[in-house]
Amino acid sequence: MAARVAVVGAGRHGKKHLAAFSQCQEEGVVELVGVADTDESCLEEARTLYNINTYNDCRAMLDAESPDAVGIATPDHLHKEITVAALDAGAHVLVEKPMDTSAAGCREMVAAAERNGRLLMVDFHKRYDPYHSELATLVKSGEIGAPLYGYSHMEDRIEVPRDWIPGWASNSSPVWFLGVHMYDLMRWILGSNAVTVYARGHKKKLVSLGVDTFDSVQAQVSFANGATVTFDTSWVLPDGFEAIVNQGIRVVGTEGVAEIDSEDRGTRLCLSSRGRTETLNAAGLRSEHDPEGKERWSGYVIDSILHFARIVNRIVGGAQVDSFAGTYPDGHDGLEATKIAEAAEQSVSSGEVVAIEPD
C-alpha cells in the first residue's frame, strides 16, 4: 500500500517536494493527495501539474486528507507550529531546515514525534551530496586522522533575500537560511556536537534596501572532539556572480586534508540569453526527460526527499520507525544544528563566546 503524502508550502522549495513525491507516485511508492498554501497562484499551479486537492489552510488539509506523511516547506519561522500539528494528526514529517529558529521549538517538535510514535526527518540535503558523503566516510574511517580544523562557506546572490523571499527575509538571516546547512554538514562529517560558538555579523547592504537582517555572519565553532571550524555565510553576492549559491568545505586532520568546491563542479558556460557566465551543479539538481518525454528531477536536493518517501512507504507497510534510526537526519540532528545557529546569533549580539549545553 502506498503512503498518502501531502505538502505544506507550494513555493520555491515546496515545488521540489511536489515534483519528488509525484515521481514516487509513478513508482507506486506514495500517493500525492494534497497541498496547502496561502498563495492561490501556487495552488493553481499545483492543481494544473498534479491534479491534486488544494487547501489554503494546512489544518483543513490534515483533517480532510488524513495523510500518512507531510512535507513542510514553509518560511523558516512557521515550521514548528505546522510540524507539531502534522505529528499530532498522526503524520510522519519531513521539514525543511532549519527545523525551527529556536532550540526550545525544536525540542517541542521532537517531543511531538516521540509521543505520537512518528518519524521526524529534517531536509539536510547537503548530506546527500556524494562528495560530502565520501568525506564523511573518510573521516569516520580515520584515514584523515584526528580532525584538527576546518572551513566552510555558503553564500547566496543578493537576489535570494531581495527577490525570492522579500516577505520574510527580515525574519531570517544567513545563519538560518544558509548556516544551518553547513553547521549540520560539518557536525555530521566530524561526528561530533558543537560546544562553543564565537560569531560576528554585518548589517549594511540589505538594511539599505529596507530589509532588516544581516548581510553576513562569520562563526567559529568548537566541537567536542577538539576540532574548530570557521563558517562564513552571506547572501549579498552581486547579481553578476556566476552562481546563485557559492559553497565549499575544507577539513584538515593529523593525517590528511580534504577540500571540496561544492559549487564549481568543473562545468562553466556563458550564453547571450542568460547575460552572465554560469557554473553548473548538476549533482545538486537537474532536469531530464525520460523516453516517454516526462520530466524527471534528480540530484541530492531531490534525493533527500525521495529517501523520506521510501522510508515512509516501508513504515506504512509495517516497518517500525525505530528501525530506521541513524539512517536519516532526525529531530535531534535538527536540534543540534539550531543550537549552533542560536548560539551564533547570541554571540553576534553579545560579542562573547557562547557555550552550547548538551541535551
Tens-place pLDDT, residues 167-223:
899 999 999 999 999 999 999 999 999 999 999 999 999 999 999 999 999 999 999
**What band does 290 get if pLDDT is binned at 50, 70 and 90?**
confident
Taken in order of first residue, the domains within the chain and their CATH numbers are 3-124+290-328 (3.40.50.720), 130-283+338-355 (3.30.360.10)
Helix or strand holding residue 46 (H, E): helix 40-50
pLDDT score for 21 = 96
Mean pLDDT along residues 15-33: 94
Contact 211, 166 (CB under 8 A): yes
- Checking if the pLDDT of 68 tops 80, the result is yes
Dihedral-angle region of residue 318 (phi above 0 means left; psi in -120 to 50 means alpha; beta otherwise):
left
pLDDT score for 264 = 87
Cell of 323: 528501525
Helix or strand holding residue 157 (H, E): strand 147-157
Pairwise CA distance, residues 109 & 70, whole Å: 14
Mean pLDDT along residues 86-92: 98
**What band does 335 get if pLDDT is binned at 50, 70 and 90?**
very high
210: DSSP letter: T
Of 41-50, 244-253, 285-294, 300-309, where does mean pLDDT reach its minimum?
285-294
Question: Across the chain, how many H-helices and E-strands are there?
Answer: 12, 17
Pairwise CA distance, residues 150 & 139, whole Å: 12
Mean pLDDT along residues 100-108: 97
pLDDT score for 231 = 98
**What band does 255 get if pLDDT is binned at 50, 70 and 90?**
very high
Sign of the torsion angle spanned by Cα atoms 10, 11, 15, 16: negative
Cis amide linkage into residue 98, ω under 30° from 0? yes
- Checking if the pLDDT of 293 tops 80, the result is no
Output the pTM of the full model: 0.95
pLDDT, one tens digit per residue, over 126-146 is 999 999 999 999 999 999 999
Cell of 189: 562529517
> For residue 358, what are the contacts with CB-CB under 8 A and spacing of at least 6?
193
Dihedral-angle region of residue 132 (phi above 0 means left; psi in -120 to 50 means alpha; beta otherwise):
alpha
86 vs 297 pLDDT, higher one: 86
Average pLDDT value over all residues in the chain: 95
Contact 180, 98 (CB under 8 A): yes
Mean pLDDT along residues 250-254: 98
Single out the residue of 336, 153, 124, 325 nearest to residue 245, CA to CA.
153
**For the chain, how long is the longest CA-to-CA vector?**
59
pLDDT score for 291 = 80
Ramachandran angles phi, psi of 328, nearest 5° = -150, 160
